[in-house]
Amino acid sequence: MKNIRLGVNIDHVATLRQARGEEYPSIANAAKVVLDSGADQITIHLREDRRHIQDYDVTTVKAVTTNYGKPLNLEIGANDEIIAIAIDNEPEWICIVPEKREERTTEGGLNLEDDKTFHKIKQTCDLIKSKCPTTKISLFVESRIEIIELCAQMSIDAVEIHTGEYAIAFNNNEDTSEYIDSFSQAKTFCEKKSIGFHAGHGLTDTNLLPLVEKELFVEYNIGHWIIADSVFSGLDASVKTLITIIKS
């Protein structure tokens, strides 16, 4: 078994719950099934608009992950109210992402080349590290050395590379070699700087294969495909399918 980690994003279990304003499906049960199936961590995104995960879900899921001795990876935008909730819950990982209210899902990496964004993210990383020294931080960014150089100027532990555009190109049977080359170069840079190299967005049982074969990333955070596939296969089986791909 390879030591590559699978983080399962269970936001869409909450999406289904919120669609009816019911108390089911249970996010706590989803987290338990995912961890019982062998996943390495639970990922959730507390969005400013609370479209899926609610504030109380963060506490609930954290209690489950703590009980299993597994990490919680909390994705947040650099919004002061959300940052305060993240700090209160002290997750093992915080992944800082850009967030726009009108987007369907996170659409790209942090624009650290914009001075204002750079300073806000740097300030956020410093605040998190001062209040929760054991929490690790990753930044969700595009696979460009110029951007990752800017990440290296902050107190972070990893970058999570936005794989959404690669995934769409792969799904459309387009040439993905440029994406793979850029991931490979970014990986070499991160290894030199001792920055963890994670991936997330749009990944499925098929577009994951080339990334795993080339041993590009040490962690994959995957949500939409798993929850969609689980409608037919069951959550346990969908998680196990990806574990087999990633680890064997």
Active site residues: 45, 75, 201
Residue that has been written with the tokens 């294969």 in this structure? 209
Q: Report in angstroms the alpha-carbon separations of 104 from 40, 52, 54, 87, 108.
A: 26, 12, 17, 26, 12
Long-range contact set of residues 174-178: C-beta below 8 Å, sequence gap at least 24: 176/210
Asked whether 121 and 155 are in contact (CB, 8 A), the reply is no
Q: How far is the CB of 133 from ligand PXP (least distance, A)?
A: 23
Which of 67/244 has CB closer to ligand PXP?
244
Pairing verdict, β 219-222 and 5-9:
parallel
Contact positions toward ligand PXP, by CB under 6 A?
Answer: 9, 11, 45, 75, 95, 97, 105-106, 140, 160, 200-203, 221-225
Which of 197/225 has CB closer to ligand PXP?
225
- Side chain identity at residue 38, one-letter code: G
Give me the residue whose beta carbon is nearest to ligand PXP: 200
Q: How far is the CB of 209 from ligand PXP (least distance, A)?
A: 15
- Side chain identity at residue 223, one-letter code: G
Which of 224/247 has CB closer to ligand PXP?
224
Distance CA 134, CA 94 (A): 11
Q: How far is the CB of 240 from ligand PXP (least distance, A)?
A: 17
Q: How many CB atoms lie within 10 A of CB 189?
A: 18
Q: How far is the CB of 159 from ligand PXP (least distance, A)?
A: 11
Distance CA 230, CA 164 (A): 21
Q: How far is the CB of 223 from ligand PXP (least distance, A)?
A: 3
Which of 64/94 has CB closer to ligand PXP?
94
- Cβ neighbourhood burial of 43 (10 Å; 0-12, 13-18, 19+): buried
Q: Which residues pair with 43 in a beta bridge?
A: 9, 73
DSSP, collapsed to helix, strand or coil, labels residue 84 as: helix
- Side chain identity at residue 116, one-letter code: K
